[in-house]
């Protein structure tokens, strides 16, 4: 009789353990990612899921917005920023695993214009033309900060004249919180020109927008760091994701999307 009760108790315990297991949420990496990496990281994330079986949840936004969310307690396993400034702020706040931080790719800024170019923009001098509609990022989002640095450089060059900077800034009709919004407004014809990354001219967008290169002497090279968060519940898996990003396969995906090697 006792053996019978022991057997029943064992079956009940196994059933309970099984039901608990079924109710558990599957493990998932949460990756806070600069908006300009949307296409490339979407593909890298799929590759990671296929190889590990662990799902990846991305939060794509401006780096400054992601940093603020993390500082205010939002959970993330990883943070990939479009500049070092916001990553360094989290490092200084003790929020990242410092040894995991690495610059994994670079990017360049270009002017983007609607494919039909109704404003007939052909060079950087045109940005100062009265009545032009320019869209760019806010000063806190990396793409906006880079644009302001470029405008400063142009304004300090005698070829553009002392009034160039003021004239360009007077033409700015909108400052967006991430680069995807800049690209969308130009693609929709809501602006004549915008400051975006070279990588933003994706295959889909190439039908809607064109780019005007900014010479090296005036351009800014964006450096993208990634790091594992100090509070990550999956530090080993997060480091595996970093390793994939920095691998030859990860680099090939990034380069296909218009990024440059770190």
Residue pLDDT, tens place only, 170-197: 999 999 999 999 999 999 999 999 999 9
Total structural domains within the chain: 2
Contact 245, 44 (CB under 8 A): yes
In a domain, 4, yes or no: no
- pLDDT value at residue 26: 59
Contact 48, 244 (CB under 8 A): yes
As beta bridge partners, residue 135 has 174, 194
The CB-side HSE value for 182 (13 A sphere, CA atoms) comes to: 33
List the domain range (segments joined by +) for residue 249: 28-106+223-261
Q: Would the CA dihedral through 132, 173, 176, 115 be positive or negative?
A: negative
How far apart are the C-alpha atoms of 246 and 231, rounded to whole Å? 22
Confidence of residue 203 (pLDDT cuts 50, 70, 90): confident
- pLDDT value at residue 19: 41
Q: Does residue 13 carry a pLDDT above 50?
A: no
- Same domain (yes/no): 197, 125: yes
- Same domain (yes/no): 87, 137: no
- Same domain (yes/no): 112, 88: no
In a domain, 15, yes or no: no
For 67-92, the three-class secondary structure string (H helix, E strand, C coil) is: HHHHHCCCCCCEEECCCHHHHHHHHH
Give the residue among 257, 250, 254 at the shortest CA–CA distance from 204.
257
Q: Higher confidence at residue 5 or residue 187?
A: 187
Q: Does residue 29 carry a pLDDT above 60?
A: yes
Contact 186, 112 (CB under 8 A): yes
In a domain, 68, yes or no: yes
């Amino acid at each position: 009789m006792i053996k019978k009760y022991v057997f029943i108790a064992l079956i009940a315990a196994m059933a309970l353990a099984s039901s608990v297991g079924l109710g558990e949420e599957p493990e998932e990496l949460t990756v806070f990612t600069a908006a300009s990496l949307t296409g490339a990281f979407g593909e890298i994330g799929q590759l990671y899921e296929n190889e590990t079986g662990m799902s990846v949840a991305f939060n794509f936004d401006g780096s400054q917005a992601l940093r603020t969310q993390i500082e205010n307690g939002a959970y993330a396993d990883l943070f990939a920023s479009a500049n070092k400034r916001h990553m360094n702020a989290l490092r200084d706040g003790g929020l990242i695993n410092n040894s995991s931080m690495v610059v994994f790719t670079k990017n360049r800024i270009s002017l983007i214009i609607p494919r039909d170019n109704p404003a007939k923009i052909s060079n950087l001098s045109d940005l100062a033309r009265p009545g032009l509609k320019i869209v760019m990022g806010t000063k806190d989002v990396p793409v906006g900060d880079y644009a302001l640095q470029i405008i400063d450089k142009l304004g300090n060059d005698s070829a553009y004249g002392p009034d160039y900077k003021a004239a360009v800034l007077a033409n700015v009709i909108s400052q967006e919180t991430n680069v995807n919004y800049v690209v969308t407004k130009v693609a929709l014809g809501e602006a004549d020109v915008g400051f975006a990354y070279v990588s933003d001219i994706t295959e889909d967008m190439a039908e809607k927008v064109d780019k005007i290169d900014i010479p090296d002497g005036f351009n800014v090279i964006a450096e993208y760091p990634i790091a594992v968060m100090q509070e990550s519940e999956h530090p080993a898996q997060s480091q595996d994701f970093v390793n994939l990003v920095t691998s030859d396969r990860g680099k090939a995906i990034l380069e296909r999307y218009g990024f440059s090697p770190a």
